[in-house]
Amino acid sequence: MYKVAQGLRAARWAVAIVILAVLVSLAGIVGFAMGDDAESSATNGSSDRSSAQTDSSDSGERPDFSVLEDVYDVLDRDYVNQEKIDPAILLQGAIDGLLNTLGDQHTVYVDPESYELGVDIISGTYQGIGAQVAEDPLTGEIIIQAPFTGSPAERAGLRPGDAILTVDGESTEGWTVSQAVRVIRGRPGTPVELEIRHGNGSIEKINITRDVIVVQTVYSEPPLGPLEDSNGNVVQDLAYLRIEQFTDQTPRDMNRALEQLGNRYKGLILDLRINPGGGLDSTVQVADLFLEEGVVLTQVNRDGSERVFRANSGGPATNIPIVVLMGPGSASGAEVLAAALRDNGRATLVGEATFGKGAVNNLRELPEGGAVYVTVARWLTPNGEQIEGVGVLPDVNAVLSDENADAGVDTQLMTAIDTLKAKVQAAP
């Protein structure tokens, strides 16, 4: 209950945050979001973990990067503060500078040590503390976006919106998300100390033991107990399912959850409010469980060509009325699913505007053992609307106040229930 209230509060708080081109987990990078995202296929990215290759279609001469070695030689020989000549740090700075000129935060470099730690959000497992972070574009601080359910981060008390001030005593001022990830991640069983400033301004040092994170993605229990409408009445004829991430196991788990629901319910609330995305394939497969047919998304490639992803098989929930709960904590795959269900006439969207991550990202392995998480395309909703930088807007606006979040009263869920009850009653 506490985590849900934290997450819902973060959804409001995150309106002020520009989602990073890639949502980075403290266990690794997330594609689609992590894959992925969250990561072999960024959540809405194709599942492609191939090695980097030169694209023969690129025009122009290849730049002579040997000048970087020449500059390093000068610094190594002549620079007055010799103690600052750290080859690893200078190399990382050069790589970051190269990528930063793109103005695309979704395209990032993963160093060999971090990559070796086993980032595999698409499969649903990775090593770390089990939280996702973003950079506040106004303050530059590293912010906890959301701890995963049951993770060391959640058990230690990390909350969405917490600012990470230090890691093992080292200030995070000026850090990028990639830097934070490299330092905070680590092998299972090893400790890390984070100094945190909570949303109420209090500062706390939190010790966390890293672990192998297995991400549970589908939950059938309402976050705050039995479903209740705005009048306080317990609702027993509506079902509730929450997806916190799209991994390889999500379609199977969602299909099982839907089959368990059977025909006992008149409507379904699908909660995507704290969902940063995941794998493209799993997102499309989940959409297929609710759609008999129709476009799920359109991918627009760098050359302007398009690839259309369609639902084509249908699943156990193609007729049940649906309301989708969403907000600023909904990104990438969550946005794709919400828009697909809306544009195909399957769902009403309740909550707040989503993050706005419409980039397709792939993880490209490098010969030196690292990788580049690179934006390779953009995607559009079935109606042809852009998600990147815009997000998906709700049909019914519902904002959760600080007071209600602190009290554990989920007024957004209540609005969703009232909306779904009206939808069920209006159905033929």
What are the residue numbers of the active site? 332, 343, 357
Q: Answer whether 35's CB lies under 8 Å from 369's CB.
A: no
Supply the DSSP string of 213-252, one letter for each residue: EE---EE-S-TTSS-B-TTS-B--SEEEEEE--B-TTHHH
Cβ contact 411:401 at 8 Å:
yes
Cα-based distances in Å from 21 to 275, 361, 381, 399: 15, 9, 18, 25
Q: Read off the tokens for 35.
A: 């894959």
Q: Which amino acid is at 250?
A: T
How far apart CA 313 and CA 315 sit, in angstroms, is: 7
User: Tokens 């909350």 — which residue?
Assistant: 159
Helices 87-100 and 66-78, axial angle in degrees (round to 10):
140
3-state secondary structure of 163: strand
- DSSP secondary structure of 255-294: HHHHHHHTTS-SEEEEE-TTB--B-HHHHHHHHHTT-SSE
Measure CA 39 to chain center. 11
Give the list of residues 6+ apart from residue 369 with CB closer than 8 angstroms, or none: 112, 115, 116
Which of 256, 246, 249 is CA-nearest to residue 283? Answer: 246
Structure tokens at 354: 């989503």
Q: Which of 190, 174, 173 is nearest to 128 (CA)?
A: 190
> Two tokens at 336?
């794709």
Strand partners, 190: none
Amino acid found at 427: A
DSSP letters along 125-155, please? EEEESSEEEEE-TTT--EEEEEEPTTSHHHH
Question: How far apart, in Å, are the Cα atoms of 250 and each of 121, 149, 224, 284, 415?
Answer: 12, 15, 23, 11, 26
Beta-bridge partner residues of 297: 309
